[in-house]
Homo-oligomer: A and B are copies of this chain.
Amino acid sequence: MRYRLYYWPGIQGRGEFIRLALEDAGAEYVDVLRPSGNSSFSKNPVLKQPPFAPPYLIAGKRVISQTANILHYLGPRLRLAPRNEAGRFWLHQLQLTIADWLVEVHDTHHPIGSGLYYEEQKAEAKRRSADFLSVRLPKYLDYFERVLRRAAGGYLLGKACSYADLSLFQMVAGLRYAFPVAFGRLERRYARIIGVHDRAAARPRLAAYLASERRIPFNQQGIFRHYPELDRLRNNSKKT
């Protein structure tokens, strides 16, 4: 199967979570860098099942959208997921939690509207980032560290690397880019998560991809963005 991946050009974004799985598996795929987004595609009147937004994957006659859904589909086909139903649902659940986490990362710099410039919501971004770094980020990190402790094999499912491990690698890489100070301090407490990052990065095909020109560098148009004024740890205690 030769896959076609549609995503915005010039950024890693959500497309990167799919690329990491395809690259690690050595799958044949075309990265279709569309110049102007999905509108023409999703409004195509002949498409009976239109995607809401990129990324979407073309696999034969099927068009699949929603990052976690694409990985859920690809997982067993790329040998990055178990074949049994219970295992697939558990892995997908982890991926959906990473998806929630990623939305919160995005909203640190766009808390008011994704269609507005960062400069138009900078004050709000500072407040949201402070809350994210002090409350939400440790909650996600604690959770994945706990899952890894219980899996007891070095990866989220145990000894076998899954697509969610590659996504966890990407979260660590992105957070290091976006919040070098705050995440740099936090990450020392999460040896198992950092272990997944390091083991994933050392996998031969993934290492080759990361060193290639196909890996778009992190930049200020992506989901992970580095604004020094947002990179500050602070305490937040109030509830509801």
- Residue in chain B with minimal CB distance to A97: B52
Report A206-227 residues with CB < 8 Å from chain B CB. Answer: none
User: B113 to A112, Cβ gap below 8 A?
Assistant: no
Q: Which label, helix, strand, loop or mixed, suits the secondary structure of the A interface? A: helix
One complex includes copies of this chain to the number of 2
CA distance A114 to B136 in the complex (A): 9
Closest Cβ neighbor of A144 among chain B residues: B52
Quick one: given A69-B89, A69-B92, A96-B69, are A115 and B143 in contact (CB under 8 Å)? Answer: no
B contact residues around A232 at 8 Å (CB): none
Contact B50 A62 (CB under 8 A): no
Contacts of A62 in B (CB 8 A): 86, 89
* Segment with Cβ contacts to B, from A16-24, A116-124, A162-170, A178-186: A116-124
Residues of B within 8 A of A203 (CB): none
- The proximity string for A residues 20-54 relative to B, scoring 1 for CB distances below 8 Å and 0 otherwise, is 00000000000000000000001100011111100
A90-102 CB mask vs B (1 if < 8 Å, else 0) is 1011001100100
Q: How far is the CB of A4 from chain B (nearest CB, A)?
A: 17
Query: Most B CB atoms within 10 A — which of A42, A51, A115?
Result: A115
Question: How many Å from the CB of A149 to the closest CB on chain B?
Answer: 9
In the complex, chain A residues 75-106 whose Cβ is within 8 Å of any chain B Cβ: 86, 89-90, 92-93, 96-97, 100, 103
Q: How far is the CB of A164 from chain B (nearest CB, A)?
A: 12
Q: Which residue of B has the minimal Cβ distance to A61?
A: B86
Q: Is A73 an interface residue (CB 8 A)?
A: yes
Contact A143 B89 (CB under 8 A): no
State the Cβ distance, A13 to closest chain B Cβ, in Å: 13
Min CB distance A214 to B, Å, is 25
Are B65 and A93 in contact, CB atoms less than 8 angstroms apart?
Answer: yes
- Write 9 A-B pairs (CB below 8 A) sorted by A numbering: A49-B147, A50-B146, A112-B124, A112-B127, A113-B127, A113-B131, A113-B132, A115-B131, A116-B240
